[in-house]
Structure 1
Amino acid sequence: MVANVAVLLVMVAISSSLFISKAVAVEATPTVIIVGAGMSGISAAKRLSDAGIKDILILEATDRIGGRIHKTNFAGLSVEMGANWVEGVNGKEVNPIWTMVNKLKLKTYYSDYENLTANTYKQAVPSTPIEMSIDYYKYDYEFAEPPRVTSLLNTEPLPTFSNFGEDLYFVADPRGYESVVHLVAQEFLQVDKSGVITDPRLKLNKAVIEIRHSRSGVIVKTEDGSVYRAGYVMVSASVGVLQTNLINFEPDLPTWKIMAIYQFDMGIYTKIFLKFPYKFWPSGNGTEFFLYAHEKRGYYTIWQQLEREYPGANALLVTVTDDESRRIEQQPDFETKAEVMQVLRDMFGKNIPEVTDILVPKWWSNRFYKGTFSNWPIGVTRYEIYFTGEHTSEHYNGYVHGAYLAGIDSADMLIKCVKGRMCKYDVMPKGT
């Protein structure tokens, strides 16, 4: 069934939410303000620029572009705090992100999960935790939330793998996975000889706190007191952010749009990096990933040794999600370190060395993200607002390629609205 939505003065989308307010008989400079410079915001801005709408202004809350694609230095290594894999490779269609990664010649490594069941360690408890750890690997590890809250519309089948291929490649390059966002940005923004963006249409450290929309245009206010006016505004913020009061909309969004925002889940996926003085875990073919079976679901379950990605670094990666991510973000890192060491001693014996360095990303605590990626929840069967951003992608929510493609789709809607005054759309249910 098609949901027919007439757009009169306002169209709103979430997570890189598309919020379009039509200006009537007013000279607006710029034409479009884009709030957020993550993959969706940058992708949408490029699409607008390619269509001739170059009078844009991008307001980014942080001091960088890339959003939830972000590298950092950890004990001398360049690691990814957020998105880390190109998921969906070697299939019948080519993942656009894989094309960019290859163009940049980023260092990537095939992730081999084939021998995972042989690499399972457990507590001295009944076999039930083993079954739970495998279930956790199959569902929570991919969607950041357990099966009980994840819609089958998001899992059966998973279009990312059925369309783009079953293979996953881990990005471990000093330039960072965020290089793909810079690649898109550099195709329409001015850069200097070193590749640094110098275009005045991109403004960093501009946290938007209010958007006013009316028949005379839109007004965007930022935390530092700046005020910007435009004909249209496209908001690029995560579902988690839109569920907070960071951005105030005046007048309030319609009730049905607010309800749609709160129906979505914002997952939390935490990759904890650990460095040791020497390795004590198995290495070589068939040993990259291993499971820890604990009586508590998701308790330091999924492990990855990073010998291929970072030779000689003696580094491990353990992934936690959902409630465990929230719990760990709220405790000091030294407590997390102690928990991790106890788990490793359960697996490899009491004489292993102490961890020397630990990195615990805290996406949920960050007010500009409030999580890592969306999970399509049970009970939501169709688009209820106009979207842009990874979670709004009909087929690829939760993925980098979903963010990129959703940005293009949202820009196309805005282009039709700006150029052709075609501001009414048929929104299809998910899965049709």
Structure 2
Amino acid sequence: MHSFNSPQRTMNKEIMALALLSLLLLSSTATSTDPSVIIVGAGMSGIMAAKTLSDAGITNIKILEATDHIGGRMHKVSFAGLNVEAGANWVEGVNGKEVNPIWTLANQLHLRNFRSDFDNLSSNCYKQGGGLYESSVVEEAIDMVDKVEGFGEKLGAGLHPSGKDDLSLLAMQRLMNHVPTDPVGMAVDYFTYDYEFAEPPRVTSMQNTVPLATFNNFGDDVYFVADQRGYSSVVDHLAHQFLKTDKEGKIVDPRLMLNKVVRHISYSGSGVTVMTEDGKKYEADYVMVSVSVGVLQTHLIRFKPDLPHWKILALYQFDMAVYTKIFVKFPSTFWPTGNGTEFFMYASERRGYYPIWQQFEKQYPGANVLLVTVTDEESRRIEQQSDDETKAEIMEVLRDMFGKNIPEMTDIYVPRWWSDRFYKGTFSNWPIGVNRYEYDQIRAPVGRVYFTGEHTSEHYNGYVHGAYLAGIDSANMMIKCIKKGMCKFLVPAKFT
């Protein structure tokens, strides 16, 4: 390992940093009987934080949302006569020992959903050049992944809980002498890791994902939401519980302000001032920032004074992953249908090249729609090319799988989350080396500036339920400060 500082100097720096953080009693004086709060962002975390504050009697709030709708990365779009989900699409973690709060809400709203069945995936793996692989070949690759993950669970159980000995998923694979390089192995590897975390094994933390808390706690089942009201109706439902509506149920509460792009947040010991792109100024006692970690890594929002270096460093260590669900429509069905055919894979020699497919025989009967998922570098590449170029690539892959005589697609929808300045990606991923210490830093308030979002959820980052629980957690931190004067937030020393 290269060293650019003397050992003593490096140690002194670390001691100073730890001392500063151990003294990080980020406090603000409890305010008057009617404290005011600005919430930046009306996604799941922002709305849940606002609801939690409101339930606690803190109702002098303003919610500033950059777009023309609430829900954030839970967002339906119109595609070929259907409403489909551009972002979050599944309730992940169902039928386990604990009940996923999003599953409870989905059932209360009677959201139309379907259990995703991946059990027959081994019989639906297509070769580059045409034809299917023998299911035994794919099952062997799946069994090997299970064996490696079993090893990873045992290894992780013996590591220090602080994460100081964390490994990447790739290092875990190397320890088992199994790094897939053949098309089938790479496709199964992609399905296991990239399809879940939106980033490859080389950057994803083993200790934070093996086992994965979502499935370990809430259950292994996942349910695809195909309700024409949209998955964001869960957020609407929560918002309706504390915001004023008209007779038709439309939110008319003046505290929710859409198309308000926050560009500046000034903060001091006495309050905060928020400036929006339209030149308007809003003042309050506190601000809750619920934008994505991807946005916080850009300069869309300027803080005055600048956020402290420890906060910026923590934010920059997290990854904002990109998970792209491309919907395509055809005049007729040419792919297999029936039981055991919902998901299929394309095993290309180029890892991550249009690998995971889903057909919607049950979810959208007669629609002739397919979904193909890409992530990470492929997502960024595709976002920078035209839809016609993407359409041509997809048609070439489908002809490779199903023959030259398939019909031309009639519609395509390509989300561009990475290019969108209000999101800069789809969800956070914990890379190697990020642990409880950085998690405490990323969720810690800076004076009267509080932070929430799925990236502040220690165990469920990247998930809808993580965003939901993070909104409650961050709001309760603020409530303790406002109501009880408990405004101190201690970040324990690293590796404790």
Shorter-chain TM range is over 0.9
Aligned to 1:277: 331
- Take 1:331 and 1:286, find their aligned partners in 2: how far apart are those partners? 34
Deviating beyond 2 angstroms after TM superposition, the runs of 4 or more aligned structure 1 residues are 3-9, 22-25, 27-30, 124-127, 425-432
Matching residue within 276, 279, 284 for 1:222: 276
1:112 aligns with 2:117: yes
Alpha carbons of structure 1 residues 211 and 184: separation in structure 2 relative to 1, 3 Å: same
1:420 aligns with 2:484: yes
Offset, 1:24:
7.9
Corresponding letter in the other structure for 1:66: G
- Listed as ranges, the matches of 1:4-403 within 5 Å are 4=22, 6-9=24-27, 22=28, 31-124=36-129, 128-382=182-436, 383=439, 384-385=441-442, 386=444, 387-403=451-467
User: Given that residues 133 and 294 in structure 1 are in contact (C-alpha distance below 8 angstroms), is that contact kept between their aligned partners in structure 2?
Assistant: yes
Work out the CA distance in 2 between the residues paired with 1:402 and 1:216. Answer: 31
Asked whether the 8 Å contact 1:153–1:430 carries over to 2, the reply is no
Structure 1 contact 24–215 (Cα < 8 Å) conserved: no
Q: SS state of the match for residue 319, structure 1?
A: strand
Aligned to 1:405: 469
Deviation string 1:323-354 (CA, Å, 9 cap, x unpaired) is: 00000000000000000000000000000000
Tell me the CA shift for residue 421 of structure 1: 1.5
Displacement after TM superposition at 1:425 (Å): 2.8
Distance 2:127 2:492 in 1: 45
CA distance in 2, matches of 1:349, 1:421: 68
Matched residue type, 1:202:
L
Contact persistence 2:29–2:485 (CA under 8 A): no
CA contact (8 A) 1:28 1:230 kept: no
Shift of 1:5: 5.5
Q: Give the Å deviation of 1:8.
A: 3.5
Equivalents in 1 of 2:351, 2:454: separation in Å?
27
* Whole-angstrom distance in 2 between the partners of 1:83 and 1:297: 24
Q: Is the 8 A contact 2:317 2:434 kept in 1?
A: yes
CA distance in 2, matches of 1:30, 1:331: 48
- In 2, Cα distance between equivalents of 1:338 and 1:42: 40
Deviates more, 1:29-38 or 1:346-355: 29-38
Other structure's SS at 2:313 match: helix
Q: Which has the larger radius of gyration?
A: 2
Report percent identity of matched pairs: 70
SS at match of 1:44: helix
Cα separation, partners in 2 of 1:5 and 1:49, compared to 1, 3 Å: farther
Residue of structure 2 equivalent to 1:17: none
1:215 offset after TM fit, Å?
A: 2.4
User: What amino acid is the match of 1:120?
Assistant: C
Quick one: structure 1 residues 294 and 224, their matched pair in 2 at CA, closer, same or farther if it must change by over 3 Å? same
Instruction: Tell me, in whole angstroms, the C-alpha distance in 2 between the residues paired with 1:152 and 1:205.
Output: 39
1-side partners of 2:66 and 2:434: how far apart? Answer: 30
Cα deviation, 1:305-333, whole Å, max 9, x if unaligned, reads 01110000011000000000000000000
Distance 2:23 2:374 in 1: 39
Residues of 1 paired with 2:429 and 2:84: CA distance?
Answer: 24
In structure 2, distance between residues paired with 1:73 and 1:185: 23
- Contact 2:29-2:487 at 8 Å conserved across structures: no
Contact 2:30/2:485 (CA < 8 Å) preserved in 1?
no
CA contact (8 A) 1:416 1:422 kept: yes
Q: Which residue identity does 1:388 align to in structure 2?
A: T
Q: 1:226 to 1:347 in 2, by over 3 A?
A: same
CA distance in 2 between partners of 1:141 and 1:183 (Å): 29
Cα distance in 1 between the residues matched to 2:346 and 2:33: 57
Distance 1:114 1:257 in 2: 43
Letter of the structure 1 residue corresponding to residue 24 of structure 2:
A
Shift of 1:81: 0.3
State the alpha-carbon separation in 1 of the partners of residues 33 and 411 from structure 2. 51
Structure 2 unpaired stretches of 5+:
1-17, 134-180, 445-450
**Rounded Cα–Cα distance in structure 2 between residues aligned with 1:41 and 1:239:** 14
- Structure 1 residues 106 and 202, CA gap change in structure 2 (3 angstroms): same
Deviations 1:216-272 (A, max 9, x none): 311100000000011000111101101110000000111111111100000100000
Change (3 A) 1:243 1:371: same
> 1:12 aligns to what?
none
Instruction: Please give the per-residue CA displacement for 1:105-139, whole angstroms capped at 9, x wherever unaligned.
Output: 11001101001011000114998111001000000
Change (3 A) 1:8 1:430: closer
Q: Output the amino acid matched with 1:370.
A: K
More helix by share: 2
- Structure in which a larger fraction of residues adopt strand: 1
Counterpart Cα distance in 2 of 1:235 and 1:226: 18
Alpha-carbon distance change, 171 to 121 in structure 1, aligned in 2, over 3 angstroms: same
Distance change in 2, residues 1:180/1:5 (3 Å):
farther
Q: CA RMSD in A?
A: 2.1
CA displacement at 1:430 relative to structure 2? 11
Partner secondary structure for residue 149 of structure 1: coil
Instruction: Report the Cα offset of residue 428 of structure 1.
Output: 6.8
* Counterparts of 2:208 and 2:396, CA distance in 1: 35
How far did 1:429 drift? 9.1
Q: Contact conserved, 2:266 with 2:303, CA < 8 A, in 1?
A: yes
After superposition, the C-alpha distances for 1:70-110 in whole angstroms (9 at most, x for unaligned) are 00110001100000000011111111101111111110011
**Shift of residue 7, structure 1, vs aligned partner:** 3.0
